[in-house]
C-alpha cells in the first residue's frame, strides 16, 4: 500500500500529458497481462538442467552453451547483450551511491522493502509455497546481501564482473523456483497467476531502488535528485540482466513513480501470511550483524518506515520505548548525513570503500566463512 503521501499523489493522478502516457502504460489492466509472462529464455534453460546451487546451474548453462548452443546460448547472449541506453560510467557512479548508503540500504531493505513486499499477497505466495523465508531466514538475507555487495564491487554489474554473474545466477534461481512450483502441484495459477512473473519481477526491482531511496529519506537523509536518478538507472540495467522486460523498466524517476503507484494499488492485499513472514524476518534477524539491534527496535523501525496503513494491516506495532530509540537513531543519522555533505570527495570515497569492506565481512561471517558453501560463487 502506498504511504499516506503517495495515496494523496494517486488521488491527484497524472499531472502532465507524459505522466498520463506512463499512467496508462502501467494500468492495472496492462499489469494483469504481465502477470502471465515469465522469463522464456531462463525457463528454457532450467527445464533442461539439474536444479542446484545458483553457481552450479550457471556452470551447467555455460558448459552446454559451449557444446550445444540453443536455449543455453540464447540465454547467455541476452545476459551479455548491453542495451544501447547503458552507460558504464553512469553505472559506476550509481554503484558509488549504493556504497555510500550501504548501511542504511540494508536497514531499509530489512525493515521496509521486504516487510512491505510481504503485504503483496500474490508475489508473497511464492515464499509461502517454497518456505524460503520461513526456513533459515538469516541465510536467505545474507545471500541477498552477497548479491548487493557483488553488484557494487569491481566493475559493478558490467558483463564479466562478479556482480553481473551473480545477477545471472539469481535469474536462473528464479526460473528454477518457477519450474519447481509448476511441477509440484502446490501452485494455483488461476488464483495467483504465473509464479515470479514479470509484474512480480518489476516489483522486486522497485524494492531495491524506489523503496530504498524512499526509506533512506525517511531516516533523515536528503537524497539529491541526481543520487536517486543514479540508483534508478543502476537498477534499470540490473533488472534487464535479471530478465525483466524493458517495457517494465522505467527510464526516469517520474516514470518510475507512475509504475510504483500503479503496481502498489494493483497488488496490495495483506493476509495472515504477510504478518507471519514479516515477523519471522525481524525475529530471526534480531541482534544479527551489521546492526545488532533487538527485535523490538527492528519492529519500531519497520513500523515507522512502512507507514501507519501497512503497519496496521500486518499488525506491526512497537512499544513507546522502542519508538523513542528509533527517534534517537534517526536524529543521529540526520546529523551524520549533514556532515557527509560537507566532506571532501576524497573522504567520501574512503567512507564508501569502508562501507564496502564492512559489508563483505558481515556477509562472510553471516554465511559461515566458507565461500565454497555460499549460494553464489563470487564475493567481490
Model confidence pLDDT, tens digit, residues 169-189: 999 999 999 999 999 988 999
Residue 39 pLDDT level (bands cut at 50, 70, 90): very high
Residue 133: which pLDDT band, with cuts at 50, 70 and 90? low
DSSP states along 350-373 = HHHHHHHHHHHHHHHHHTTS-GGG
Lowest mean pLDDT, pick from 86-90, 116-120, 138-142, 305-309: 138-142
DSSP 8-state symbol, 156: T
Q: Which residues neighbour 254 within 8 Å (Cβ) at sequence distance 6 or greater?
A: 18, 19, 22
Least confident span in 204-208, 227-231, 288-292, 317-321: 288-292
Average pLDDT over residues 111-119: 95
State the pTM of this model.
0.94
Return the closest-CA partner of residue 90 out of 167, 165, 156: 156
SS3 201: helix
- Confidence at 345, pLDDT banded by 50, 70, 90: confident
Convert the pLDDT of each residue in 224-233 to its tens digit: 999 999 999 9
Where does the pLDDT of residue 368 fall: very low under 50, low under 70, confident under 90, or very high at 90 and above? confident
Classify residue 344: in a domain, yes or no: yes
User: What's the total number of domains in the chain?
Assistant: 1
Torsion of CA 380, 341, 260, 257, to 10 degrees: -130
Cell of 142: 545474507
Chain centroid to CA 226: 20
pLDDT at 14: 86
Reported confidence tier of residue 221, pLDDT bands at 50, 70, 90? very high
CB atoms near residue 320 (< 10 Å): 7
Write down the pLDDT at residue 134: 60
CA–CA distance, 60 with 8 (Å, rounded to integer): 49
CA neighbor of 26 nearest in space, from 15, 38, 14, 16: 14
Q: How far apart are CA 61 and CA 32, in angstroms?
A: 31
Q: How far apart are CA 257 and CA 335, in angstroms?
A: 28
The three-state secondary structure class of 6 is: helix
Helix axes 54-67 and 162-184, enclosed angle (nearest 10):
100
Euclidean distance between the first and the last CA atom of the chain, given in angstroms as a whole number: 35
Q: What is the pLDDT of residue 143?
A: 93
Residue 309 domain-assigned? yes
- pLDDT exceeds cutoff 60 at 1: no
Q: Is the pLDDT of residue 378 over 90?
A: no
pLDDT of 273 > 60? The answer is yes
In a domain, 226, yes or no: yes
C-alpha span between 149 and 375 (Å, rounded): 14
Task: Give yes or no for a contact between 301 and 324, defined as CB atoms under 8 angstroms apart.
Answer: no
Q: Which three cell numbers stand for residue 188?
A: 494455483
Residue 233: inside a domain, yes or no?
Answer: yes
Per the listing, cell 574512503 goes with 350
Mean pLDDT of the residues in the chain: 93
Alpha-carbon distance values, 200 to 10, 32, 287 (Å): 21, 11, 30
Beta-bridge mates of residue 268: 120
Instruction: Give the bridge partners for 120, in sequence order.
Output: 268
Host domain of residue 328: 26-371
In a domain, 47, yes or no: yes
Domain-located, residue 174 = yes
CB 361 within 8 A of CB 132: no
Percent share of the chain, pLDDT over 70: 98
User: Of 131, 127, 109, which Cα lies nearest the Cα of 118?
Assistant: 127
Q: Does residue 18 fall inside a structural domain?
A: no
pLDDT at 29 over 70: yes
Q: Is residue 20 part of a domain?
A: no
CA distance 80 to 189: 31
Instruction: Give percent of the chain with pLDDT exceeding 90.
Output: 81
Amino acid at each position: 500500500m502506498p504511504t499516506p503521501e503517495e495515496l494523496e499523489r494517486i488521488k491527484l493522478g497524472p499531472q502532465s500529458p507524459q505522466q498520463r502516457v506512463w499512467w496508462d502504460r502501467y494500468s492495472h489492466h496492462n499489469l494483469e497481462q504481465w502477470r502471465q509472462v515469465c522469463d522464456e529464455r531462463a525457463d528454457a534453460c532450467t527445464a533442461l538442467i539439474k536444479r542446484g546451487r545458483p553457481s552450479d546451474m550457471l556452470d551447467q548453462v555455460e558448459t552446454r552453451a559451449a557444446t550445444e548452443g540453443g536455449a543455453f546460448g540464447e540465454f547467455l547472449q541476452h545476459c551479455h547483450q548491453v542495451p544501447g541506453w547503458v552507460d558504464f560510467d553512469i553505472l559506476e557512479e550509481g554503484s558509488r551511491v549504493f556504497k555510500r548508503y550501504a548501511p542504511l540500504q540494508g536497514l531499509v531493505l530489512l525493515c521496509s522493502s521486504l516487510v512491505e513486499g510481504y503485504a503483496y499477497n500474490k508475489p508473497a505466495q511464492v515464499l509461502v509455497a517454497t518456505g524460503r523465508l520461513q526456513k533459515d531466514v538469516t541465510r536467505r538475507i545474507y545471500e541477498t546481501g552477497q548479491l548487493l555487495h557483488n553488484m557494487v564491487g569491481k566493475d559493478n554489474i558490467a558483463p564479466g564482473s562478479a556482480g553481473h554473474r551473480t545477477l545471472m545466477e539469481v535469474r536462473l534461481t528464479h526460473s528454477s523456483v518457477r519450474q519447481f512450483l509448476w511441477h509440484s502441484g502446490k501452485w494455483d495459477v488461476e488464483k495467483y497467476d504465473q509464479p515470479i512473473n514479470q509484474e512480480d519481477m518489476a516489483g522486486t526491482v522497485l524494492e531495491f531502488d524506489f523503496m530504498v531511496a524512499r526509506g533512506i529519506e525517511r531516516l533523515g537523509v536528503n537524497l539529491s535528485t541526481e543520487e536517486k536518478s543514479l540508483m534508478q538507472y543502476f537498477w534499470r540495467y540490473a533488472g534487464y540482466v535479471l530478465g525483466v522486460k524493458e517495457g517494465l523498466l522505467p527510464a526516469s524517476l517520474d516514470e518510475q513513480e507512475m509504475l510504483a503507484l500503479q503496481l502498489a494499488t494493483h497488488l496490495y492485499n495483506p493476509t495472515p501470511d504477510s504478518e507471519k513472514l514479516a515477523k519471522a524476518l525481524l525475529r530471526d534477524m534480531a541482534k544479527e550483524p551489521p546492526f545488532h539491534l533487538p527485535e523490538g527496535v527492528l519492529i519500531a523501525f519497520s513500523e515507522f518506515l512502512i507507514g501507519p496503513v501497512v503497519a496496521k494491516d500486518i499488525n506491526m506495532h512497537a512499544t513507546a520505548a522502542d519508538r523513542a530509540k528509533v527517534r534517537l537513531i534517526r536524529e543521529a543519522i540526520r546529523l551524520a548525513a549533514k556532515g557527509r555533505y560537507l566532506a571532501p570527495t576524497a573522504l567520501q570515497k574512503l567512507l564508501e570503500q569502508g562501507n564496502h569492506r564492512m559489508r563483505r565481512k558481515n556477509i562472510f561471517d553471516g554465511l559461515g566463512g566458507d565461500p565454497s558453501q555460499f549460494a553464489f560463487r563470487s564475493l567481490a
